[in-house]
Every structure is written in structure tokens, then in C-alpha cells.
Structure 1
Amino acid sequence: MLGIVLCGGQSLRMGTDKGLLSHQDKLWAQVACDKLSSLNLPVKFSVNPLQQLSYVGYFGNEQLIIDNPSLDIKGPLLGVLSAHLSNPEEDLFLLACDMLLMETRLLEKLIHSFKADEAFDAYVFIKDNQQEPLCGIYKAKGLKNIINLLQTNGLAKHSMKYILSNLRVCEIAVDDQDYRYFGNFNSHAEINGL
């Protein structure tokens, strides 16, 4: 299994690259990387071509997965499928770089569910009856099916939630006291309280 830190968003509301913002003297991308690394996973960073030069300076080229130009899609799915195409045999553990408060113990819950029952294509948390697609495990076999759907024009939408509707998903309920760990930060106003 490979840990993937999703950093390739446009960060329009933030106005600057979120993965390269600093929190407690660490880049947001590094904070997410450390959490995935603590699960004994090798970790790579999913970035878009415009970010490549900046990220190489911090993490080195071998740790980057650049969005695949052959994929005619946008959003997180582009990063996920690019990571899959460059590592087609690996299951992927995704974590968005802006889920700053995510706790390792919650990530361990996903790993536990994955090991306990391998019958699913994806393992994600569910909060307020909504799936949390950007913190989850996606098996290589399920992602291969998504690539096939994409190539045969079988994907009506490119949202991660729509992708999950095409997979067998193990949903792990989020306890009320853990809701805050699933927040993602999109603007300077949201991070002022950190």
C-alpha cells in the first residue's frame, strides 16, 4: 500500500498553495506525510504540473506524482488516477493535505477495517451520512475499474463521491467527538484559529 498526500488542488479560496503553507513549523504536505508515514507506509505527493518545481525543492522528484496529462479530468480524481496509473499494483491510502487536524488513530481505524475485510474496493469514513472520500483507502482493483469506466465514457461525473458510488465501499462511522478532525481548511479565515 502506498500513502498519497493530495496536494494538486487549485487552492483558489486560499489564494496560495495549501500544501506549502506552514503549521507548527511544518508544511501542510509534510504534516499529512508524517501521519501516513506513521502507519509504516511509503508516501508520495500528488501535485499538478505547475507545482512540480516548488515541491521538488522540498521533497525531491522521486516522491512526486505529477498529474497524468493523458487523463481528461480535473479535481482530486485526476490526482488519484494519476497515482494509480504510476503505481497500478498498489492500493492507495489517500489523505488531503488540508485535513490538518486528522489524527493517526483514525487513520489506523481505516487500516484495521481494510485488514479485517478485504471484500471492498474502498474504505472511507462517513459523517452526517456523507462519505469523506479524501481520507480513505482505495484498492488497485477498484481503481482499475474506474479507469476502464473512464476510457469507455462510463463515468457520468468525475467527483470522488460519484466514483465511490461505482465501488463497493466499506463505510466507517465517525463518532460525534471526532467530527472536527475531518475539517479541511480552504481560507485564511478558517486557519486563524489554529
Structure 2
Amino acid sequence: MGQDKAALSYNGRPQLARAVDLVARHAERCFVSIRPDQQPDPLRASYPCIMDRREIKDRLGGGPMVGVLSAHVAYPGVAWLVVACDLPMLDDTTIAALVHERNADLAATAYVGESDGLPEPLCTIWEPATLAALHNQARNQKIRPRQMLGGSAVRRLEVKKTGALENVNAPDERDRALKRLGCCEQEV
């Protein structure tokens, strides 16, 4: 994308602020996952943060699951409602349904991706035992969260709002998201 997706503005607000506000309505506490180089960023610093743990990054090489597993290490006994910061069309109804439909007796509660039918790991409630198993798996091999969720006992939900889980990774995807959200101007 060439830009920090968390800082991209939609309807006059950075996407990270929109995502945090959305999750905060449904969670007891809300944290932003950050890499060490993101610590001085004023946008991220305005929220409680959990820093990626070096030993997890060294094992996984990077990616969003470093943040998820770092959160699990910080608070191992809790379930985590994980939401990516590049989902500008995610809405309150979609998150509310995920929280309402949670089944804590299963590995996770996840939406099924519209395009591939696999559970979406970055709009999921991960249960503590599943995160512990992923953490242990990460010690020995590269983890593949989508495949892991696909093979586990997971509460799978269908997305009611078309496009709610579409992420923005390229300028043309952002242009489409801005149009769908009804943003009047091309925002920078």
C-alpha cells in the first residue's frame, strides 16, 4: 500500500481510531498491538498497547499473529477479540453478532470469509486454550491460523453485511471502500 493502513482516514478519522472505538464497545479492555518501531507513533501511543514480543517475532518472522500471541502471553487466561486495523467496512452489528454468538467451549468463534469459505483469523474471538496451543506450535513450526481454524472445533458465522471483512491493501481497494462508505472526497 505504501502507507500505514492504520492511519488512513475514512470519514475524517484514522482507521485505527475507528477500529478501537468499535471493539471497545464490546470488550472489557482494548489494546493495540504494536511492533517496537511503532512505539513512538502518536496515533498508536494514544491507546493502551501490547508490544510484539521478540521471541515470538523471531519464531514467526512477523505478521499479525505475532501480536495475537504477544497479547496471549501478556494475558494468558483471557479470550481475545481480534480485529485487524484494515477493515474499514467492519461495523458494530458484525462485531456484536460475533460477541453474541461466542462459544467459549470451542477453539474460537470466527466469521467465514466471503471469498474462500475459510475462517477469518483477524475478526475472531480466540479462546485461551487455542492460543496456548498456537503458541506451543509456533515454537516448532510456522503457524497457519486460517488452516488451524479450519481444522478445529470453531463456531463459524456467516457475515450478514456483504464486504464487512474486506481488507484494504491497495489504493484501488481503498477507493472502493471510500465509495461504499459514502465518503464524499478522496481522502489522503
Give the TM-score band, short-chain normalised: 0.7 to 0.9
Q: Does 1:70 align with 2:55?
A: yes
Amino acid at match of 1:192: D
Q: How does 1:154-193 map to 2 (within 5 A)?
A: 155=141, 157-165=142-150, 167-175=152-160, 178-193=161-176
Q: Does 1:18 align with 2:5?
A: yes
Q: Does 1:133 align with 2:121?
A: yes
Distance across 2 between alignment mates of 1:85 and 1:51? 19
Q: Which segment is superposed worse, 158-167 or 39-48?
A: 158-167
* Structure 2 portions without partners, runs of 5+: 179-188
- Could you tell me which residue of structure 2 aligns to residue 123 of structure 1? 109
Aligned pair partner of 2:24 in 31, 37, 40 = 37
Q: How does 1:87-126 map to 2 (within 5 A)?
A: 87-114=75-102, 117-126=103-112
Contact 2:7 2:43 in 1 (8 A): no
Distance across 2 between alignment mates of 1:68 and 1:166? 27
Question: Please, what is the CA RMSD of the aligned residues?
Answer: 1.8
Distance across 2 between alignment mates of 1:133 and 1:40? 17
Contact 2:5 2:85 in 1 (8 A): yes
SS in 2 for 1:53: coil
Residue 192 of structure 1 deviates from its aligned partner by 2.0
Residue 62 of structure 1 deviates from its aligned partner by 6.7
Q: TM-score, normalised by structure 1?
A: 0.81
Residue 168 of structure 1 deviates from its aligned partner by 2.3
Residue 98 of structure 1 deviates from its aligned partner by 0.6
**Bigger fraction of residues in strand:** 1
Percent of aligned positions with the same letter in both sequences?
Answer: 26
How many residue pairs match? The answer is 172
Q: TM-score, normalised by structure 2?
A: 0.83
